[in-house]
Chain A
Amino acid sequence: MNIEHITKKLSESHGWQAKYREIMLLGKQLPALPDALKVDSALVSGCDSKVWLYLDLDENAQQLVLIADSDTRIVKGLLAIIIAAYASKTPEQASQFNAYELFESLGLIAHLSPSRGNGIRAIVEQIQAKAELLK
Chain B
Amino acid sequence: MTDIQSLRNDFPILNKQLDGQPLCYLDSAATAQKPNKVIDVIKTFYQDENSNVHRGLHTLSENATVRYESARETIASFLNVETREIVWTSGATESLNLLAYGLSACFNSDSVIAISPFEHHANIVPWQEACQRTGATLLVLPMLDGVLDEQGAIALLKQHKPDVLAMGHVSNALGNIHPIESLISVCKAIGTITVIDGAQSLLHLRPDLKALDCDFYVFSAHKALGPTGVGGLYGKYQQLNALPVYKTGGEMIREVSFERSSYREAPGKFEPGTPNISGVIGFAAAIDYINEIDPSALQRYEQTLYHALLEKLKQIEGITVYGDTQNNVGVVSFNYKSEHHYDLATLLNTYGVAVRSGHHCTQPLMKMLKVNGTVRASLAFYNNQDDIEHFINALNATIELLD
Contact = CB atoms under 8 A, between A and B. Distances in A.
B349 to A, nearest CB: 8
Nearest to A15: B350
A74 B358 CA distance: 15
B402 interface: yes
Interface stretch (B113-121, B217-225, B301-309, B340-348): B340-348
B350 A17 contact: yes
Contacts of A72: 340, 342-343
Interface in B305-360: 339-340, 342-343, 346-347, 350, 358
Given A48-B358, A73-B402, A20 B342 contact: no
A62 interface: no
Contact of B346 (A15, A21, A71, A74): A74
Contacts of A73: 339-340, 343, 402
Given A48-B358, A74-B346, A17 B397 contact: yes
Interface in A9-55: 15-17, 20-21, 24, 48-49
Contacts of B256: none
Contacts of B19: 16
A118 interface: yes
B401 interface: yes
Residue picked from A16, A48, A75, most chain B C-beta under 10 Å: A48
Contacts of A24: 343, 401-402
Contacts, number: 35
Given A48-B358, A74-B346, A20 B401 contact: yes
A16 B358 CA distance: 22
Dominant secondary structure of chain A at its interface with chain B: helix
- Classify chain A: how many residues form its interface, as a range: 10 to 19
A21 B346 CA distance: 12
Residue picked from B342, B350, B402, most chain A C-beta under 10 Å: B342
A131 B372 CA distance: 32
B401 A21 contact: yes
Interface in A68-95: 71-75
Interface of B: 19, 339-340, 342-343, 346-347, 350, 358, 372, 397, 401-402
6 contacts: A17-B347, A17-B397, A20-B346, A20-B350, A48-B342, A74-B343
